[in-house]
Structure 1
Amino acid sequence: MASEPDDKLPPQGRFNRLRKLAGLSMHVGSEVLKAGAKQLSGTSPTELLSLGTAEKLVATLGEMKGAAMKLGQALSMDPDLLTPEVRQMMARLQNQAPAMSYAQVSRVVQEELGAPPEALFKEFSPDALAAASLGQVHRAVLHDGRPVAVKVQYPGIDVSMGHDMDNLGLVVKTVSKTSRMMDGTAYFQEFRDELMLELDYRREAKLAQSFAKSVARLPDLYVPQVIEERSAHRVLTLELLEGQTLKDWVTTSPDSAERFRVARQLIRATYGPFLDAGEIHADPHPGNFMVMPDGRMGLLDFGSIKRFSPGFIAANRRMFQQALRLETLDVLSLCREVGFSVELPEAEAEVLLREVLHIAGRPMRTAPYDYGTCDINRDMRNHFTRNAARIMRIRPPPEAMMFFRATGGLAQNLRLVGAQGDFRQVFLEVGALVGE
């Protein structure tokens, strides 16, 4: 990827960023409304967004980076909202954002590590290997010959992220004042805290080392080694993994056996560390999973590893095990143990929650299961839409937001892979990692 001039850095200023998003929202909103009108009139469109609008989204969100770009990454994963052509364009946000110049990269490395890249590495590619929401990655070689990936944070992205969170927080605060049921303050604070923590690459290095221990019992998964002496607050150096990211691998037309193997690894990568060690990879876009030549799955980007409270983990472990045994769940008691608050009559809440678990648990009950035609996310969205007023009175704990982000992204990735097979057995294998 060719380097770009310094004006490719994220635009600064709270109101400047708000203005860019507002203009984009008006453009996209107008097109979505027109698509909805065509559906109501019986002339159903083939796509929610045109390729032209998607290109504008990619350009603007890619330029803004930060939280705005993360939202675009999430949008690019949903197969029920966008056509394959539009999703393919939006997928550029996963690791192909406009890159900052090498001069900027060199300055950040010098400020953080005390010397320019040429002095710290035997080789350092001036072109970005990947460019994403908070920083970009460069291929390099240590003086001992080991190939590494060096992630360098965009200058000023911490301020830009803070401005994005201030703008979003104002919206949340305004909406929350309209009704107690609409109060999303605690969820926004959880989202904000987790996102801002991703700016500290020293923290990410420690999370990567911890996550490597969490997947140690799963030898088909691999976490790259951290190079501590070449890492700092805004620079993170990791062992370079060779292979194809999930989004590139699926374009190679893998056979059914390969699809099942990779789908199994995705399930193990999500639920294995959660059930065994109480932490989860909560940024599941396809650019963060690598299909390696030796058959292992490499895991990337550890800034959003979420560690949960003991009560949340214990209740979810018990729910998972009972679901695998096909037992009738006491859903209200389990959800309350997880940390849910319920402001509905118990019988009414139980029906709603039982349907959620019924939809989510299909692959655990059915063998074989076809993820290529999986409708879990669509049916869950429809269930929430039909029962919105009542479901809003069943409130999960704030920490659950990152769990839902991880497991919802897993379902989308599994549909992307499109494997079919005995996934009940895969979930049984994962469940065997822990006892009751």
Structure 2
Amino acid sequence: MASDSDDSLPPQGRFTRLRKLAGLSMQVGTDVLMSSAKRLAGGTPELLSKSSAEKLVATLGELKGAAMKLGQAISMDPDLLTPEVRQVLARLQNQAPAMSYDMVTRVVRQELGAAPEDAFREFSREPLAAASLGQVHRAVLEDGRVVAVKVQYPGIAESLTHDMENLGLVVKTVSKASRLMDGSAYFNEFRDELLLELDYRREASLAEGFARGVAELKDLYVPQVIASHSAERVLTLELLEGPTLKDWVTTVDSNDERFRVSRQLIRATYGPFFGSGEIHADPHPGNFMVMPDGRLGLLDFGSIKRFSPRFVDANRRMFLQSMRLEPMDILRLSQEVGFTVELPGEEAADLIREVLHIAGRPMRLTPYDYMSCEITRDMRNHFTRNAARFLKIKPPPEAVMFFRSTGGLAQNLRLIGARGDFRGVFLEMAELLS
């Protein structure tokens, strides 16, 4: 039986993990400096070279936990990286180095009271996917149902805690330097939500709740939870068939098909949010599956975020007024969402109005072409130009996960690159609220 020092497990110890990240940051930092020099010389810069991307994948894949989640987020941004480098980083979405089968057996026995071969009729020794907190194995129940069994990495709870302590120290230092740059509340929200993902019993409950939330959206599907074979560190779900979004998008040329799946992604994001006040807050392309029957399968429910009624209600009214092209009191609605504003009212309203104007292009313009979408770039430029003023407009902490989800949706839609009547799709969502 493997010991806890198994080389396939994420490195332990706060300073061990910090040291590995520090070494990685030096190499990535060199790339960034070279990119800046190339930009000054009038050339076309690459933020990250392919060799550095390979190093990034190897190190973050080994560390797993929060470090790997960061790499997943970076891999989704089409404006930061070349397609070649993004393809390398995309391996972090479900292809991390796997832990040994001996260690899988140990965890399953501890959690379910039996080895995998005894708890299931069949259990594949090779994982289907290996991600930030655990890896997934194909198995068959005694009644013949084919399932996916997610097994948590031993020690990942400690690793994740150490990552959060290291990051928390940075946030604390920055926050002490300036009250305006105090990000403690947002960091605490992100940390708390991330640590909650370690409890697979909670994830099972969230999956069941999310299934109820999308029940009326027949083109979406949430796999059934197998409670009899689930525990704190083992989660068994119905196995869905089909390619994940990140693989599917490389094989489909039809704009009609790309538009259809894009529509499903929009419905999967806003339908549960407006309907039941919850959202899938880990939207990387490895968490969506294009099923053979045309439905979009949803995966990984540890990061489902449930919002306060106030947050949902104010966003719902803002969305409906936007879709009806009605004038709105943007500052009042933002404050009802939970924003605090330390700027003169009209100045703050102008900044927020521009954010909505940029983000709302697909809701106003038809047809809209996501292949040439520049929302992410223009939003980044808007925030950069007005950075000092935006520090005085502070969203509520719960907005962190909302922005993570909707920002990921925009990046996924850009990845798919469909052209069509997206305003019509958003109008469909508005009709569901009527």
TM-score range for the pair, normalised by the shorter chain length? over 0.9
- Tell me how far apart the structure 2 counterparts of residues 254 and 44 of structure 1 sit (CA, whole Å): 28
Pick which of 218-227 and 6-15 moved more.
6-15
- Tell me how far apart the structure 2 counterparts of residues 163 and 36 of structure 1 sit (CA, whole Å): 32
The 3-state SS of whatever aligns with 2:432 is coil
How far residue 233 of structure 1 moved from its aligned partner, in angstroms, is 0.2
How far residue 31 of structure 1 moved from its aligned partner, in angstroms, is 1.1
The 3-state SS of whatever aligns with 1:20 is helix
For residues 360-388 of structure 1, give each alpha carbon's deviation from its aligned partner in whole angstroms, at most 9, with x where no partner exists: 11011011001111111111111000000
How far residue 396 of structure 1 moved from its aligned partner, in angstroms, is 0.1
2:96 equivalent in structure 1: 97
How far residue 328 of structure 1 moved from its aligned partner, in angstroms, is 1.4
- Tell me how far apart the structure 1 counterparts of residues 24 and 366 of structure 2 sit (CA, whole Å): 44
For residues 367-418 of structure 1, give each alpha carbon's deviation from its aligned partner in whole angstroms, at most 9, with x where no partner exists: 1001111111111111000000001100000000000000000000001111
For residues 87-118 of structure 1, give each alpha carbon's deviation from its aligned partner in whole angstroms, at most 9, with x where no partner exists: 00000000000000000000000000100000
AA paired with 2:214?
Answer: V
The 3-state SS of whatever aligns with 1:85 is helix
- Tell me how far apart the structure 1 counterparts of residues 75 and 280 of structure 2 sit (CA, whole Å): 18
1:284 equivalent in structure 2: 283
The 3-state SS of whatever aligns with 2:208 is helix
Within-5 A mapping of 1:141-180: 141-180=140-179
The size of the alignment, in residue pairs, is 430
The 3-state SS of whatever aligns with 1:356 is helix
- Tell me how far apart the structure 2 counterparts of residues 22 and 195 of structure 1 sit (CA, whole Å): 22
How far residue 254 of structure 1 moved from its aligned partner, in angstroms, is 3.2
The 3-state SS of whatever aligns with 1:177 is helix
For residues 145-176 of structure 1, give each alpha carbon's deviation from its aligned partner in whole angstroms, at most 9, with x where no partner exists: 00000000000000000000000000000000
AA paired with 2:393?
Answer: I
The 3-state SS of whatever aligns with 1:6 is coil
- Tell me how far apart the structure 2 counterparts of residues 328 and 111 of structure 1 sit (CA, whole Å): 59
For residues 118-155 of structure 1, give each alpha carbon's deviation from its aligned partner in whole angstroms, at most 9, with x where no partner exists: 00101000001000000000000001000000000000
- Tell me how far apart the structure 1 counterparts of residues 149 and 6 of structure 2 sit (CA, whole Å): 19
- Tell me how far apart the structure 2 counterparts of residues 165 and 335 of structure 1 sit (CA, whole Å): 30
Within-5 A mapping of 1:368-379: 368-379=367-378
- Tell me how far apart the structure 1 counterparts of residues 190 and 127 of structure 2 sit (CA, whole Å): 28
CA contact (8 A) 1:246 1:291 kept: yes
CA contact (8 A) 1:275 1:431 kept: no
- Tell me how far apart the structure 2 counterparts of residues 329 and 88 of structure 1 sit (CA, whole Å): 41
How far residue 26 of structure 1 moved from its aligned partner, in angstroms, is 1.2
Q: Please tell me whether residue 118 in structure 1 is matched to residue 149 in structure 2.
A: no
The 3-state SS of whatever aligns with 2:126 is strand
Tell me the TM-score normalised to structure 1 length. 0.98
Identity %: 76
**Runs of 4+ in structure 1 over 2 Å off:** none
Within-5 A mapping of 1:299-318: 299-318=298-317
1:181 equivalent in structure 2: 180
AA paired with 2:248?
Answer: W
Within-5 A mapping of 1:57-136: 57-136=56-135
Pick which of 210-219 and 370-379 moved more.
370-379
Tell me the TM-score normalised to structure 2 length. 0.98
How far residue 41 of structure 1 moved from its aligned partner, in angstroms, is 2.0
Root-mean-square deviation (CA), in Å?
0.8
Structure 1 unmatched runs, 5+: none
1:327 equivalent in structure 2: 326
- Tell me how far apart the structure 2 counterparts of residues 54 and 44 of structure 1 sit (CA, whole Å): 18
Within-5 A mapping of 1:14-413: 14-45=14-45, 47-413=46-412
CA contact (8 A) 2:279 2:402 kept: yes
Pick which of 290-299 and 252-261 moved more.
252-261
AA paired with 1:376?
Answer: I
For residues 173-204 of structure 1, give each alpha carbon's deviation from its aligned partner in whole angstroms, at most 9, with x where no partner exists: 00000111110000000000000000000000
The 3-state SS of whatever aligns with 1:35 is helix
How far residue 221 of structure 1 moved from its aligned partner, in angstroms, is 0.0
CA contact (8 A) 2:252 2:258 kept: no
For residues 11-47 of structure 1, give each alpha carbon's deviation from its aligned partner in whole angstroms, at most 9, with x where no partner exists: 00000000001111111011101111110122233x2
AA paired with 1:34?
Answer: M
How far residue 234 of structure 1 moved from its aligned partner, in angstroms, is 0.2
CA contact (8 A) 1:211 1:223 kept: yes
The 3-state SS of whatever aligns with 1:329 is coil
Pick which of 147-156 and 365-374 moved more.
365-374
AA paired with 1:206?
Answer: S
The 3-state SS of whatever aligns with 1:7 is coil
How far residue 6 of structure 1 moved from its aligned partner, in angstroms, is 2.9
AA paired with 2:32?
Answer: V
- Tell me how far apart the structure 1 counterparts of residues 253 and 140 of structure 2 sit (CA, whole Å): 31
CA contact (8 A) 1:230 1:236 kept: yes
Pick which of 142-151 and 34-43 moved more.
34-43
